[in-house]
Structure 1
Amino acid sequence: MSLQFQSLNHKKMKRITKLTLVLLMIVSSNITKAQEKNMKTAEENYTNWYPGYSSTMEATDPELSSIFKNFAFGETQEYGNLDIKKRIILTMASTIAQHTPSEYRKILYAAFSNGISPLQIKEVLYHAVPYIGMPKVAELIEVANVFLKEKGVKLPLEPQAVVNSQTRLEKGLEIQKSIFGNQIDKLYKSAPADQLHFQRYLSANCFGDYQTRPVFDVKMRELLTFSILISMGGTDAQVKSHVQGNVNVGNDKQTLLAVTTQLLPYIGYPRTLNAVTCINEIIPDKK
């Protein structure tokens, strides 16, 4: 009986082992199929962004190029409902905020290839000035100018300013209040006398001079601001403020998470996770 039992037990173990191997093969096959699907998606998205573009990294560092492409153009672009133009424009804003001229020029190629207008290309740069400062933007203006001239675009472009020295404060305040409501009045009232000028500068310069320009609407500008701030790092207070601003103008939590996911490969995990923390603090999940 003992030998018979051992024989039966041995046969049972063999069946279990075979079943386990079959299951492992199925799982492995599914993983391989998922990886192949992701690689195919990544290649398609990359080609849509950069039709005919030849990257030197593919020749010099093919492994890194493949890892980045599969993640940045495969996995992360599977998340959210951002269209290709919005993804490119917001990624462009991120490269500006981080002041990366070579990557910025590459994004210009994607923008031009996907019907993003010269006015929109320039406006992303202009929008960034009050957040990252003119010195960082000035160099990238030159990069953009060289690129646009190569594409046959005549510069300067048509002017977009709709305010003057008499109206910039008033119009800037209008936009601020349309985004942040009576919080702006509270900031003015609570500002010490020797700091009140910062509030006026924000209204007249940041919002009046720049955000009144009609190239982008307020919803897109808030996404641009959010993208710039999370790409800079060390701006959590401002990120939280503009998370709320985005909500106020109609950009919901899923949209902000989609933008953050899109920018993850470009800004890294620390800044991404900080952004997610800010989003969750201002827009907590409903229990």
Structure 2
Amino acid sequence: MVIRDDAHDVGLEQRRKMFGVAGAEDQVHHTTDLNDKMQDFVTRSCFGDFWQRDGLTVPERSKITVAMLIALGRAHELRIHVNGALENGITPLELREIALHAILYCGIPAANDGLRAIQEVLTERGVSLDIDGEAARTAQTA
């Protein structure tokens, strides 16, 4: 049973902006006894409270979330949040730089998995992987 209140409505709207209907209404209204408490927590607490707090913008929260998911090696959730980050205005260049920065603090395997997940999402969305011409410049100097 879904209890609608301000936290629920704000959280559902945030989810809708970031993940569309599939990440909002479909997740919240098609729960089972197994996952209904998780979806309620995510909607109310995560997106209805924490993502609404002052101090960080929604795009900043997206960047931080992407970085933490790379660090934790959570590719499934990372793909979801890469889609959300793109909807929040984060560019493919910024996503690449977050993953590359992860090399320094999380290691090559974590950064590589992060880049792979980012590439999968960009490819699925039809976004060019030619972000800034860096690969072509590197190839010319080799």
Structures share a fold, TM > 0.5?
Answer: yes
**2:42 maps to 1:71:** no
**Are residues 1:40 and 2:9 paired?**
yes
Distance in 2 between residues matched to 1:154 and 1:109, nearest whole Å: 15
Q: Kindly provide the CA deviation profile for residues 181-229 of structure 1, in whole angstroms up to 9, marking residues without a partner as x.
A: xxxxxxxxxxxxxxxxxxxxxxxxxxxxxxxxxxxxxxxxxxxxxxxxx
| Alignment check: 8 A CA contact 1:51 1:113 kept | no
Question: Pairwise mapping of residues 94-133 of structure 1 onto structure 2 (< 5 A)?
Answer: 94-133=68-107
Give the SS at the match of 1:66.
helix
- How far apart are the structure 2 equivalents of 1:45 and 1:92? 17
CA distance, structure 2, for counterparts of residue 52 and residue 39 of structure 1? 15
Equivalent of 1:59, from 27, 31, 51? 31
The 5 A counterparts of 1:55-204 are 59-60=31-32, 61-159=35-133
- 8 A contact 1:93–1:125 mirrored in 2: yes
> Higher helix fraction: Structure 1 or Structure 2?
1
**CA separation in 2, counterparts of 1:151 and 1:75?**
29
Change (3 A) 1:77 1:143: closer
TM-score of the aligned structures, taking structure 1 as reference length? 0.40
Unaligned runs of 5+ in 1: 1-34, 162-287
Q: How far is 1:78 from its partner? A: 3.7
Report the RMSD for the aligned CA atoms in angstroms.
2.3
Deviations 1:9-58 (A, max 9, x none): xxxxxxxxxxxxxxxxxxxxxxxxxx822112211222222223346685
Contiguous gaps of at least 5 residues in structure 2: 136-142
SS at match of 1:40: helix
Contact 2:59 2:85 in 1 (8 A): yes
Displacement after TM superposition at 1:159 (Å): 4.6
Q: Distance in 1 between matches of 2:42 and 2:109?
A: 30
Alignment: residue pair count? 127
Q: Which amino acid aligns with 2:50?
A: T
- Highest CA radius of gyration, 1 or 2? 1
Structure 1 Cα separation of the partners of residues 79 and 102 of structure 2 = 16
Question: TM-score scaled to structure 2, two decimals?
Answer: 0.77
- In structure 2, relative to structure 1, the CA distance for the partners of 1:63 and 1:111 (3 Å cut) is same
Question: Quick one: which amino acid aligns to residue 102 of structure 1?
Answer: H
Give, in angstroms, the shift of residue 150 of structure 1: 1.7
Distance 1:139 1:129 in 2: 11
Structure 1 residues 77, 157: closer, same or farther in 2, change over 3 A?
Answer: closer
Question: How far off its partner does 1:124 sit?
Answer: 0.8
In structure 2, relative to structure 1, the CA distance for the partners of 1:78 and 1:149 (3 Å cut) is closer
Shift of 1:115: 2.2
